Structure 1
Amino acid sequence: MAKSFVQIILGNVRITRNLVLLLIIGGLYAISVALSNTFVNIYLWKQSGEIRDIALYQLASVVSQPVAFLVAGYIAKRFDRIIALRLGVFVLTSFYLTVLFSGESAGEILIVLGILLGMGFGFYWLGYNVLTFEITEPDTRDFFNGFAGLLTSFAGMIGPLTAGAVITWMPETTGYHIIFFVSFFMFILAVILSFRMNHRHAEGPLRVAKATMEIKRNTDWRKVLFSHFLQGSREGIFVFIIIVWVYTATQSELALGGYGFITSAVSFLGYFMVSRFLKPLQRKRAILIGGALLFGAVFLIIFHPTYPLLITYGIIISAAYPLLLVPYVSLTYDVLGKASNAGMMRIEYLITKEWFLNGGRIVSILLLLVGISLFKEEQIVPVLMVILGAGSFVMYWFIRDIDLTLLLNKREAKSSIPEQEGGDSLS
């Protein structure tokens, strides 16, 4: 009975110890970020009230991430990919401690904070992505990415609402400090848990230059990288503009937490449905529908971003993101798995992917900074949101011709995956 219930929830998926551990570590990370990351932006924005300052903070973060990915790649090759992940968590804990101890002076060190955040993200996500590539297989990636999305959505439900309530009920900035400390504690738990994962050394030197040559040779990989650039161009400004708009529309951290709860609840259901029922050969259609919804939702809020409209926007994009990201991430790893020497050079390919993603974010934020220096903020921001928001829709036109025959030949697919059969099984 219990087994049948698990199969109903998870499907007939081969679960391994490393896969479960990575999901739990990702869940702890998601809770930490959900508790604090939204409110770090508001905490810093309240000290100046200028979008420009938050944009500079975010720019410092996305500029430092490509550097962090390169350094983390060297560490993963020379030592272990788990060490890169742990270093990311340590740097992120340093970030939150710096925010805590700087207090009302945090606005004076925006660039430093942004660099710390970017370095932490870079180390963490390089380690996490390499582990994802090694631990999952083509027929388990949709499950893993979908279930990871479920955990992220659940964290998004409880995190912002809890944090918003604590910040609202506590005097002055006490609530912010409590939430930042809890995030720090969650990151420490993630580090401790990582010691239970199997260590594995990657082979050979770091050959990023050789990996970049695959862009010319491999048409599918080139299309994936260009689509990641478009994804980054959307994320660059949307990640903080929406947060600021929700707060300015309500002047309430609790309302911002409520926004996070509602949108994450929708996202939670979406990730469950997509990860449970989406078939590999339906990926492209799902990406098209998800991208179209993300783009269309922008027009709800660019003219008059009231709280009800922002909630409606949040519900739409929360339903759309699972449709887009679950098949898109899985497709990315499948294409990577077919690249030259994918097993030996998986780290280099992941670094290249992140460079394109962050390149899009950098361009997006730079356009915003240039735009608000030349035009009024209320005029240029909506225009940029339409232009950059189209990236999620245009992504489909890059990936629509990618060959999916890999999915029909599991032996060929597994031949390039370092951890065949997912390693040590728990079933």
Structure 2
Amino acid sequence: MMGRKGGGILRFFFLKRLSADARRLVGSNTLFIAGLGLSATFINVYLWRVDHSLFPLILFNGFLDVGIPLAFVICGFLAHRVKEPTLLRIGIIGVSVFFALLLFAGKAAAHHAIWLGLLFGLGQGFYWYAFHVASFDCTRADARTDFHAASGFFTSLVGMLAPFVAGLIIANSARLTGYSLVFACTFTLFVILFVQSFRLRHGPCRRTEFAEGFCFARDPDWRRVWLATVSFGLREGVYAFVIPILVFFSSKTEAGVGDFGLWTGIVALLSYGWIGRIKRHELLKRFMIVPSIALGGFACVLLLGIKPMILTIFGASTALLFPFVMIPLTSVTQDEIDESERSSVRRAEYVISREVALGVGRVSGILLLFIFLAIFPGVHGVLIVSSILGFAYVLTSVLIAKVTYTDRRLGPMR
């Protein structure tokens, strides 16, 4: 439990520079990621186990990525009547129902990939909408990089431990029994998070003007951020489920997937921790092109096959360099939204617009994978698409480097 001083153990590291509300939000998000970390990594492996086909995985993840921005839009319609913590709890309930249905469906889950993916996406979308809007209320512009570094640090910590523990449970259980146990543990964690969410602060309810988040002609910087987010989503949408499957193909066991998550998480943990100590945050934005190019180069090693050494090189480089892209993108996006009175008042509209951009990128990446698999069936097509999309962050970094916050010269809304 986190008390008036901001939360006991969570005061370590750079969290001491955050407000108590921001620390509570980091703590809640850590618990959410822990729940997802236990099961989300293995959902795609589970679907492969019961169907032995990549098609249900593509359907599940495609509709997952449709459901998330759809939930953001629904939240926008509800925002003037429902407060953020309530929307967050709706998301938690949605994700919990998803895991309950997954337990109930058992081996038939692959035949319901569309609806399961859509439900999972809607649940996550409600949660992430509330989280992103609340993160504005809990942080100042000068502490935003600290907030994302802290959040990334702790989510990396649980993100590496949870898949490792889940992998051990599944690998040492008979048939699919381990999956049922892990999904049940995840369900329990979300019940705890539901109770914890009543301590989160909320902002005022107001009506959403959706057009405000898509006024690209008035604010060229927001257009650059939007397109950068689309480019970011191209890689993320495919890598989120392809990499665990490739690791599973290589190791032939869920424990191998857990081990991969553990040591890559350790590397990411160190990377987030180091970024949190950097004082000149503008340097991260200016030089994010370097890790972006490096990430693309390391992605090309996948063309050499899914051998353990190849995946080790890819995993280590991605874990080390990804935070140097993720944190500047997230910080610049929030700073761009919060740069003037006009945009800061309409922050929910910009959050929705950003998520739509991310969804467009994710779904586009998955469609590209689907097309390539029609031409190059099997793992070979997956490796080709993964190597191509590895360079998507280069465009992201180029666009983010051009953001100059020109809208700060504008006065109050009229």
The two structures have a TM-score, normalised by structure 2, of 0.92
The 1:17/1:11 distance shift into structure 2, 3 A limit, reads closer
Shift of 1:283: 2.2
Shift of 1:212: 1.3
Say whether 1:176 aligns with 2:176. Answer: no
Contact 2:137 2:203 in 1 (8 A): no
Contact 1:75 1:81 in 2 (8 A): no
The 1:278/1:243 distance shift into structure 2, 3 A limit, reads farther
Shift of 1:286: 4.2
Shift of 1:11: 7.5
Contact 1:281 1:404 in 2 (8 A): no
Identity fraction in percent: 28
One-letter identity of the residue aligned with 2:13: I
Question: Higher mean Cα deviation, 114-123 or 396-405?
Answer: 396-405
Contact 2:134 2:202 in 1 (8 A): no
One-letter identity of the residue aligned with 1:275: G
Equivalent positions of 1:43-82 (< 5 A) are: 43-82=46-85
Q: Give the Cα separation in 1 of the matches to 2:344 and 2:332.
A: 17
Equivalent positions of 1:409-420 (< 5 A) are: none
Say whether 1:101 aligns with 2:104. Answer: yes
Structure 2 SS opposite 1:402? coil
* 1:18 alignment partner in structure 2: 21
Say whether 1:247 aligns with 2:248. Answer: yes
* 1:207 alignment partner in structure 2: 209
The 1:244/1:6 distance shift into structure 2, 3 A limit, reads closer
Contact 1:66 1:355 in 2 (8 A): yes
Q: Give the Cα separation in 2 of the matches to 1:397 and 1:221.
A: 14
Q: Give the Cα separation in 2 of the matches to 1:349 and 1:8.
A: 32
Q: Give the Cα separation in 2 of the matches to 1:273 and 1:97.
A: 39
Contact 1:286 1:327 in 2 (8 A): no
Question: Higher mean Cα deviation, 156-165 or 299-308?
Answer: 299-308
Structure 2 SS opposite 1:141? helix
* 2:4 alignment partner in structure 1: none
Contact 2:15 2:23 in 1 (8 A): no
Alpha-carbon displacement from aligned partner over 1:323-350 (angstroms, at most 9, x marks no partner)? 1111221111001112562233111110
The 1:398/1:24 distance shift into structure 2, 3 A limit, reads same
Unaligned runs of 5+ in 2: 1-8
The 1:402/1:37 distance shift into structure 2, 3 A limit, reads same
Contact 1:35 1:160 in 2 (8 A): yes
Structure 2 SS opposite 1:376? coil
Report the number of matched residues. Answer: 404
The 1:62/1:124 distance shift into structure 2, 3 A limit, reads same
* 2:5 alignment partner in structure 1: none
Q: Give the Cα separation in 2 of the matches to 1:124 and 1:290.
A: 30
* 1:347 alignment partner in structure 2: 348
Equivalent positions of 1:13-412 (< 5 A) are: 13=17, 15-203=18-206, 205-213=207-215, 215-338=216-339, 341-403=342-404
Alpha-carbon displacement from aligned partner over 1:161-209 (angstroms, at most 9, x marks no partner)? 1001111111111111111111111111111111012233233x21102
The two structures have a TM-score, normalised by structure 1, of 0.90
* 1:9 alignment partner in structure 2: 13
Q: Give the Cα separation in 1 of the matches to 2:75 and 2:86.
A: 9
One-letter identity of the residue aligned with 1:208: F
Q: Give the Cα separation in 2 of the matches to 1:277 and 1:64.
A: 36
The 1:11/1:18 distance shift into structure 2, 3 A limit, reads closer
The 1:196/1:8 distance shift into structure 2, 3 A limit, reads closer
Unaligned runs of 5+ in 1: 417-427
Contact 2:232 2:396 in 1 (8 A): yes
One-letter identity of the residue aligned with 2:293: A
One-letter identity of the residue aligned with 2:272: Y
Cα RMSD (Å):
2.2
Structure 1 SS opposite 2:79? helix
Structure 2 SS opposite 1:119? helix
Question: Higher mean Cα deviation, 383-392 or 143-152?
Answer: 383-392
Q: Give the Cα separation in 1 of the matches to 2:340 and 2:309.
A: 46
Q: Give the Cα separation in 2 of the matches to 1:210 and 1:282.
A: 30
* 1:424 alignment partner in structure 2: none
Contact 1:75 1:83 in 2 (8 A): no
